[in-house]
Amino acid sequence: MNALVAACKVLNQTVDGIDLFNRVKKIFSYPTNPSRSENVQKTLSIASSSFKSLAFVANSIALGAHMRGASDRTLEAITSSESVIQFLGAFPELLRVRIDYKLGHISIARATLEASAPLISTARAYNESEFYRYKHIRSLPQSERAQEEPIYGEDPLDYSKVIMRDWDNRPIIGWKVGVGISDKDCDDKIKAAEQFFTTLSPAETAVKGSAMVITSLKQNSVQQKEAAANHDTFSVNLVGLAVIPEALHNDVIFRQYECAITHQPIRDPVGDPNGKTLYERNAIVRCINLYHKSPMTNAPLEVNQLVEKPLLKALIDQRLEAYEKLIKTAIEVGGVTGVPPDQMEAVKRENPNY
């Protein structure tokens, strides 16, 4: 193992450790009563994180075994185990990435990087195991490399003697002890496997590192927006926010109209065709794009079937405008007062079942 590959392995372990820590935090941050999509995400995250933890342990053992000068046979066994774990863990990870992307939780760039990482890791671990496997075989004398080779049937063929067929559909009628792989073939396979995994190791590091950077930038952006939305001075344009600031959740209007998916006050309301359910537009659109069903009734539902709520939307905008002007005193006295009676009656007629 050259210095570049060793450095990449250490960096990979560092990135994987940080990623695992963030995944565990995210798993425990899911709501107590999650929606169906959140349940699916949590299940896939747990499955993916479990395989990732096993791969992390296997890679750590392989790195430690190499530093202690373990035999090629031992290193082959460890890296083979890692390649199987990486392969199995790729399935829940790819499903998780697909759902997160369709729900709009991650960008196309981040989805591409996160989907590529398990595939690159699997290919790297497999070629690394092949490298150690053929190094071990190369160290054996030719007499110990003997292996069973198939005996192929020839025409005219007695099909009752056919045991099985190979990948090329050739009939196998028995087995014989062959001479085993030659030194030249071993050297060729060692060289090919080494080229693959020494190339894939830096690629694996670059992909995982880039995904972590994008995730970190996204988290910082979200934290800055939340801090701005909840800042005591409220020096932001409240009407321009995509969510209702947490400090305003107890407002008489905001707490009355909550999204059935997020269970948060609605900023951009739309209604279910059943006439009994309100949603945050972004939340229900993501859900429809993923399942094409109502999350409340499981009835087929498309975006164009959602019912606009212009009067409620106007009332929410007006409440936010009023809080922009009176936010400090409004929080101290418990909220903005004085909704015009005719406007409140119009909103109730529009939404009689809420």
Q: Give the pLDDT of residue 232.
A: 47
Dump pLDDT digits (tens) for 27-52.
777 666 666 667 777 888 889 889 98
Dump pLDDT digits (tens) for 57-116.
998 898 888 888 888 889 889 999 999 999 999 999 999 888 888 877 788 888 899 899
Dump pLDDT digits (tens) for 157-167.
777 788 888 87
pLDDT tops 80 at residue 320: yes
Give the Cα separation of 111 and 133 in Å (integer): 34
* Residue 146, number of CB atoms within 10 A of its CB: 13
DSSP characters over 20-64: HHHHHHHHHTS-SS--HHHHHHHHHHHHHHHHHHHHHHHHHHHHH
Task: Give the type of residue at 151.
Answer: I
Among 92, 25, 80, residue whose Cα is nearest residue 52: 92
- Rounded to a whole number of angstroms, the CA Rg of the chain reads 30
pTM for the model: 0.60
Q: What is the mean pLDDT of the chain?
A: 82
Query: pLDDT band at residue 332, thresholds of 50, 70 and 90?
Result: low
Instruction: Look at strands 164-165 and 148-152 and give their pairing.
Output: unpaired
